[in-house]
């Protein structure tokens, strides 16, 4: 009996009742997807609204073109243009969009229960993944900005400190400041341990005459697809 729940609610032409059931299911599942996508992440109101309405829109379009190969190909081409008409999104946003579209396709074919189970499983995984903190090497990448006097040979003055506190260090920028009496250096470094940043800065201060030092997270795009 459980297997019958995975059967479509209509097999030939859809009726008004089946359309209402599919549309309501699409809207409910779209709401679940939107709430899951916005869980512990910053999403715009317009994006969440799109996730909410997209399953119902896709479902209606697929129902209308059901059985027409030419119209179906035209719709696929229209959907492919959506990606190129939007700004770059994060990996989670792209997954949410494809999840909404897949949900609309499933409800359009009448697989209401299957679509519901599919959304619940995927959204549960999305929510659980937000609690899992996986530390990557990129999390320890920092930008070191240090000011040194002009009489300091900065080429190898910090090699021993870099060897102690970092896994890698690369000089990115070197420029003069204060009428040429100081150098401003920018290094891209990968720390061995975040707990030793203060000790690292204290040791650097002894080398650069207690001039300005800053260690910051480099500004990069987050998970852009």
166 pLDDT above the threshold of 90 = yes
CB 180 within 8 A of CB 150: yes
CA dist., res. 136 & res. 71, Å (int):
46
pLDDT of residue 220: 55
pLDDT reported for residue 95? 85
- What is the Cα 47 distance to its own chain's centre? 14
H helix count then E strand count, the chain: 7, 4
Domains of the chain: 2-129 (no CATH), 137-216 (3.30.70.240)
pLDDT at 221: 47
Q: Please give the pLDDT value at position 9.
A: 80
Of 29-43, 53-67, 124-138, the poorest mean pLDDT is in: 124-138
pLDDT per position as a tens digit, 67-97 = 565 666 666 666 665 555 455 567 788 888 8
pLDDT at site 67: 55
pLDDT digits (tens, 9 = 90+) for 95-128: 888 888 889 888 888 889 989 999 999 999 988 8
For residue 158, pLDDT beyond 50? yes
Confidence of residue 178 (pLDDT cuts 50, 70, 90): confident
Q: Distance from CA of residue 91 to its chain's centroid? A: 4
Report the C-alpha gap between 210 and 202 in whole angstroms: 9
pLDDT at 2 > cutoff 50: yes
Q: How far from the centroid of its chain's Cα atoms is residue 187's Cα?
A: 27
d(CA 43, CA 47): 7
């Amino acid at each position: 009996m459980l297997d019958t729940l995975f059967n479509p609610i209509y097999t030939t032409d859809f009726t008004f009742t089946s359309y209402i059931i599919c549309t309501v299911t699409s809207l409910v599942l779209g709401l679940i997807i939107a709430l899951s996508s916005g869980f512990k992440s910053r999403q715009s109101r317009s994006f969440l609204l799109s996730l909410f309405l997209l399953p119902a829109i896709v479902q209606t379009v697929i129902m209308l073109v059901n059985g027409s190969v030419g119209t179906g190909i035209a719709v696929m081409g229209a959907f492919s243009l959506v990606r190129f008409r939007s700004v770059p999104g994060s990996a989670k946003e792209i997954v949410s969009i494809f999840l909404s579209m897949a949900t609309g396709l499933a409800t359009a074919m009448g697989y209401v229960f299957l679509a519901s189970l599919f959304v619940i499983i995927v959204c549960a995984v999305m929510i659980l993944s937000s609690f899992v903190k996986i530390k990557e090497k990129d999390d320890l990448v920092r930008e070191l900005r240090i000011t040194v006097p002009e009489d300091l040979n900065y080429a190898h003055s910090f090699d021993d400190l870099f060897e102690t506190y970092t896994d890698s260090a690369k000089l990115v920028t070197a420029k003069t400041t204060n009428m040429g009496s100081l150098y401003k250096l920018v290094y891209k470094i990968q720390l061995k341990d975040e707990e030793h940043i203060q000790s690292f800065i204290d040791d650097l201060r002894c080398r650069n005459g207690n001039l300005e030092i800053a260690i910051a997270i480099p500004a990069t795009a987050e998970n852009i697809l």
